[in-house]
Amino acid sequence: DQQVKQNSPSLSVQEGRISILNCDYTNSMFDYFLWYKKYPAEGPTFLISISSIKDKNEDGRFTVFLNKSAKHLSLHIVPSQPGDSAVYFCAASGYNNNDMRFGAGTRLTVKP
């Protein structure tokens, strides 16, 4: 039962352009959403998050948008840099945050 889905296994963009990574969820009880970034042979690292009471959160080049009615969130990276090349995981959590569900990840490649 995959409650968090990232339907694009990979994405390739040119340096300086926008990267848009998408995530869909099915459980309406999720109230907090996070994006993690993962380099090879390392653990995931937290990137940005958003509460269900908001529809947008920005942190530098990274912006997360949440559309609760569509059960959809997206991560925008502007401008994209080669160092952003990694696997990005979307995660969602209910109120107690002890059962976080992860998507399968999207591999982003930013070409110089």
Partner 1 sequence: NAGVTQTPKFRILKIGQSMTLQCTQDMNHNYMYWYRQDPGMGLKLIYYSVGAGITDKGEVPNGYNVSRSTTEDFPLRLELAAPSQTSVYFCASRLDSISYEQYFGPGTRLTVT
> Least distance in Å: CB of 41 to partner 1?
7
Exposure class string for 72-81: b at 16+ Cβ within 10 A, else e: ebbbbbeebe
> Least distance in Å: CB of 93 to partner 1?
6
**Which residues are near partner 1 by CB under 8 A?**
2, 4, 6, 9, 32, 34, 36, 41-46, 49, 89, 91, 93, 96-105
Instruction: List CB contacts of 89: < 8 A, sequence separation 6 or more.
Output: 6, 35, 36, 37, 38, 44, 102, 103, 105
> Least distance in Å: CB of 86 to partner 1?
13
Residue 49, CA distances (Å) to 15, 18, 63, 112 in order: 24, 19, 9, 28
> Least distance in Å: CB of 69 to partner 1?
23
Q: Is the CB of 69 or the CB of 99 nearer to partner 1?
A: 99
List the structure tokens of 37.
């970034």
Q: Is the CB of 34 or the CB of 75 nearer to partner 1?
A: 34
Q: Is the CB of 20 or the CB of 104 nearer to partner 1?
A: 104
- Mapping DSSP to helix (H, G, I), strand (E, B) and coil, where does residue 77 land? strand
